Structure 1
């Protein structure tokens, strides 16, 4: 088959044209005509495709001839105004269809992510906030924003800050509240910590205790990267002793289980539900509490609408972020 113009026979599939150099790419060269080709491939008729696209038939015919010229491959076998796809044309049509469908999905996704009624929030929080605090917050937020979706990440403070810097998180609920020039923070609440001891322990019958009274105990703690570990060590120093660490873990309820097994004591936030096998004591001195705050990156420009809405919701819950515990 010989196509119009001074071109070689398209049965020779070597490329006669193509990107002229580094400044030009196949995508830049071909993209404007892909939707047109997809319509022609779907109808296998120039006139019907032109009618669908609302362009003159002659314009569409020239566009298809130029597409074939650029590729150096015959895509269409012409029979008047009707056309059929060559084997190369069928293969190219499948790839074009997939590419256009992916563009459609990407466009819908980015629109949804910036739609205040249907966007997405990438939200990080501490493991101890997972069982109770975060589900309650999201449930309340979604009463007024039912179509907002969440990508949830449970981790420790330093990791969440790094994920925000990498663009993986929009904001996070964390403790301790970070102090970094590129991070904006707001204090939201305070959470009291309790000394957790095994049932039958010498201190188990007490309701209140000074932390110094546990100076000789073995402690189970979170690993050193966790903010609660740093806080526990600081509170013990304030009480006049260096804690002896018997076991380390990554999750507060695991530590509570180790305490129940008689392997040590721990300073922990209140449990979601009472844990058998342990007694939880109020510490009167020093004051054992941790600040809970929300953090996001500074200087990032306006927030997407769903992120702005959730941030406003959290800031409006100051002093009422955490569930009440007896």
Structure 2
């Protein structure tokens, strides 16, 4: 009997959703999605190439930026196949195993990106609070170790989720409300007790994104305290200006993530369109906008990019 159930489980699928009610124009809707993915992948790839090949950019701020670009690239690649598959080919089916693999990469990359944003906040605090020791505190060896630790942390924390989901039998409609798989939505499709998954998922969110966002907030409190002690208004504004790009990245990352999490957990009566829009902003906006913001705000990076393309 168990063998029959396992066979049934492995052959079952989830149905992904594009934009309900707009199926007739999905092909047209695919155009902005294709452009978004192309710009995201090209933008982050260019930043990585410039930082890698230009020794003058081998500084802590740009090393952290390259880490952010890598996670953004990963997020774009993790969602691109299913999202474009729906809009271009109406390919809605995804097997359980493929869904679990996708949500593993999405959530582990999200945890890693949250940690990178925390490291970037720490970078800005050290640069403003103790600029003379900045290079010695954030030397390349220490940066690489911190990056590796946070990547391993994200993988280790998210690794149990696919196995926790795989033990369930799924007897609901199996129609997901996004064009990709998320843990908080997939677990609701199970016809078993999901208490363990719910508690573990909430704990992961609090210990990663929740803790990181709190530490980022505290970092900026310390940055403001340091900046306000500067006598010159011009120096004060110059110091704050170095944080603008990072603040944009933080708001762009955490705002839709928190909104989507709240809607999934507490917004049972909310409009499905709100979930869908937040879902797309949640995963598509940061990889698209981060390279643009950092290229515009960083004179050194902008100059290197212009030099590459002018040649």
Q: Pick the structure with more helix per residue.
A: 2
TM-score (normalizing by structure 1): 0.19
Higher relative contact order (CA 8 A, sep 6+): 2
Larger Rg: 1
